[in-house]
């Protein structure tokens, strides 16, 4: 089993942190993992993406050309990665940030208003956790939500520990959104 995931958006949306948490969780579950970040020189507002590969055997290379799953946190990311997702893959899109319909019918597409839901929770910066919750709910054979929650408690930076409960709530919101 090898699952390749791309998370993409603007700098400042928590793209890299989301990927790191996926990687940490996979390692703690005894899986092999790679995390490969890519970002522009801007701290906020520039493009950012990362690839995470999770496998039950050695991973040959950290590069991904046909991901199993993708989180697109904005329109430029959707435009770039939608056609790359493998048939029968999963595409999670922040519909609050995208103003066009999704084109693919051979993949599972989940349009979730992550930014809007995060604002309703009181912190727009939680959209990455909402979208991750939706991803994890749609890839249950890869990582469980419970394992991810344990990992978040271990790896949330100390300076953000006061946001732990809000992050956990955001994860749950994303994971259950499709069931609403």
Q: What is the pLDDT of residues 35-93, one digit of tens each?
A: 999 876 655 667 899 999 999 999 988 888 899 999 999 999 999 999 999 999 999 99
When pLDDT is cut at 50, 70 and 90, the band that residue 96 belongs to is: very high
Q: Is the pLDDT of residue 114 over 70?
A: yes
Element (H, E) at 176: helix 164-177
- Give pLDDT, residue 180: 39
- Give pLDDT, residue 43: 57
Q: Is the pLDDT of residue 160 over 50?
A: yes
Determine what percent of the chain is predicted with pLDDT higher than 90: 69
Rounded-to-integer distance, Cα 125 and Cα 42, Å = 18
Q: How many domains does the chain have?
A: 1
When pLDDT is cut at 50, 70 and 90, the band that residue 177 belongs to is: confident
- Segments forming the whole domain that contains residue 12: 2-177
When pLDDT is cut at 50, 70 and 90, the band that residue 179 belongs to is: very low
Our separate counts of H helices and E strands in the chain read 6, 6
Highest averaged pLDDT of the listed ranges 13-17, 105-109, 159-163: 105-109
Residue 101 burial class via C-beta count within 10 angstroms: exposed 0-12, middle 13-18, buried 19 and up: exposed
Question: What CATH number does the domain containing 162 carry?
Answer: 3.40.920.10
């Amino acid at each position: 089993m090898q699952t390749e995931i791309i998370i993409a958006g603007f700098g400042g949306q928590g793209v890299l942190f989301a990927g790191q948490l996926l990687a940490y969780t996979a390692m703690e579950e005894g899986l092999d993992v790679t995390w490969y970040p890519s970002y522009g020189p801007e701290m906020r507002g520039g493009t950012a993406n990362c690839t995470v590969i999770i496998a039950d055997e050695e991973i040959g290379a950290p590069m991904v050309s046909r991901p199993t799953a993708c989180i697109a946190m904005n329109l430029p990311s959707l435009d770039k990665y939608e056609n790359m997702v493998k048939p029968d893959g999963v595409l999670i899109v922040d519909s609050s940030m995208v103003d066009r319909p999704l084109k693919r019918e051979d993949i599972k597409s989940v349009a979730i208003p992550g930014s809007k839901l995060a604002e309703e929770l009181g912190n727009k910066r939680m959209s990455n956790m909402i979208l991750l919750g939706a991803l994890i709910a749609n890839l249950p054979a890869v990582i469980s939500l419970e394992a991810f929650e344990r990992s978040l408690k271990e790896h949330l930076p100390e300076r953000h520990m006061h946001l732990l409960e809000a992050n956990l709530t955001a994860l749950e919101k994303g994971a259950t959104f499709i069931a609403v």
